[in-house]
Amino acid sequence: MKLAGKVALVTGGSRGIGRSIVTALAKEGAKVAFTYNSNEEAANNLVKELELDQRVAVAFKADAADGARAQQVVDEVVEKLGSLDILVNNAGIIKDGLLAAMSEENWCAVINTNLNSVYHYCHAAIRPMMSARKGRIVNISSVAANFGNPGQTNYAATKGGIEGFTRCLAKEVGRRGITVNAVAPGFIVTDMTEAIRNAAGAEIEKQIAMRRLGEPQDISNAVTFLSLDESSYITGHVITVDGGLTLGSGL
């Protein structure tokens, strides 16, 4: 219960990696608020599950790309739960396609949801954290930022942007006791990666040093660590959690 007394906000927290992060932070004792965009049933089920485990969880319906709504969510979290100590920017979508055929709509949708949301929620959260002179911000990036995947110019651009954003913000707020880090997952078993996994089949695992795909809890473990007091001297870093994927081909 190392996060007892802390309040966390996770964007895109109803499914996949986000759901695992919400659950992990709650199990460490944090009061957890999370946003979801459309799947109200999944959000309500997660709240009920955590409440049965005697945890505090609150769900907010919010489009991650909506800056005004981001401010509302942060204000309500502080009002209802008393503070905001941890922010995890996890919300993200993919709309893959080769650039030559990519519509401006699909380009902008990914930029707005994946990258602009990080600005919106950090911009809203940073003031209460600065006033408290403490805080943890963890942004979810991807190995796609450096590894590169054909058909993901929009997605990779957002993740590369998140990593640069993370380093700059860490320098801006470090003196206020706020750490800003990112976690870059590799191939993780989620609904969002299903199409890629189905297309590549067993070939994906051959590229990974550990010869297995990652699970959502592999990411939530890293996020939890970066949220603890024990990580208070780590800031401006991107922690890659990919089982050795980006090491290159193994034997």
Indicate which residues carry an active-site annotation. 155
Cβ atoms of 149 and 100 within 8 Å: the answer is no
Angular region, 15: left φ>0, alpha ψ -120 to 50, beta rest:
beta
Q: What is the largest CA-CA distance in the chain?
A: 54
**Tokens of residue 225, six digits:** 């660590």
**Tokens of residue 65, six digits:** 């790309």
- Give the span between the Cα atoms of 81 and 33, in whole angstroms: 9
At residue 103, φ and ψ (nearest 5 deg) are -80, 155
Determine the distance from the C-alpha atom of residue 227 to the mean position of all C-alpha atoms in its chain, rounded to a whole number. 12
Sheet holding 178-185, edge to edge: 57-61, 31-36, 7-10, 86-89, 135-140, 178-185, 238-241
CA dihedral 28, 17, 169, 26 (to 10 degrees): -20
